């Protein structure tokens, strides 16, 4: 399985980078992981313009990387780790060999991105920093594959 994480912005904190690198290394046992870091616009004076610019970059990246699209969205559906592992397994069984996880910018994503997503996934009603969310996501991806492959990581 090919896993792409398409995200806006760069990781600045070393401890977060270290965690991401650790789980990326562990993921090698389950498939190919690629992280696409897109430029953050961050125009505080015109949030809508920022959302549109960042969303355009996301859509361009998705065009080059066809596959099942999962948008991290606070208004999305909540799953337990076991239920999400089952969803991931079903995606593969339905013929998709690539899953694109999308983390928008700090102002969110356009309605076009929301509509194009095959699944909108919420980790919580709480708001997390985007850098930390990337680490949480990659840990959960590793956990989901551990559940699917029945390894002892998930307890």
Q: Which residues are annotated as a binding site?
A: 72, 104, 123-128
Find the DSSP H helices in 28-129.
Answer: 47-64, 81-93, 111-116
Quote the CA–CA distance of 68 and 22 in Å, as a whole number.
25
Binding-site residue numbers for S-adenosyl-L-methionine are: 72, 104, 123-128
With a CB cutoff of 8 Å and minimum separation 6, the contacts of 112 are 55, 59
β-strands 68-77, 2-8: how paired? Answer: unpaired
Phi, psi of 104 (to 5 degrees): -75, 180
- What stretches of the chain adopt beta strand conformation (E)? 2-8, 32-38, 68-77, 98-103, 119-121
Q: Which two tokens stand for residue 154?
A: 């998930």
């Amino acid at each position: 399985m090919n896993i792409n994480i398409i995200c806006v912005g760069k990781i600045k904190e070393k401890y977060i980078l270290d965690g991401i690198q650790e789980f990326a290394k562990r993921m090698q046992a389950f498939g190919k992981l690629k992280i696409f870091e897109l430029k953050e616009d961050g125009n505080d004076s015109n949030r809508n313009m920022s959302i549109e610019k960042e969303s355009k970059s996301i859509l361009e990246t998705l065009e080059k990387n066809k596959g099942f699209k999962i948008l991290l969205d606070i208004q999305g559906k909540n799953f337990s780790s076991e239920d999400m592992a089952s969803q991931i397994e079903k995606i593969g069984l339905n013929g998709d060999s690539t899953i694109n996880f999308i983390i928008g910018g700090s102002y969110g994503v356009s309605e076009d991105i929301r509509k194009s997503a095959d699944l909108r996934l919420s980790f919580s009603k709480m708001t997390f920093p985007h850098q930390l969310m990337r680490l949480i996501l990659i840990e959960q991806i590793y956990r989901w594959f551990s559940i699917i492959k029945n390894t002892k990581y998930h307890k």
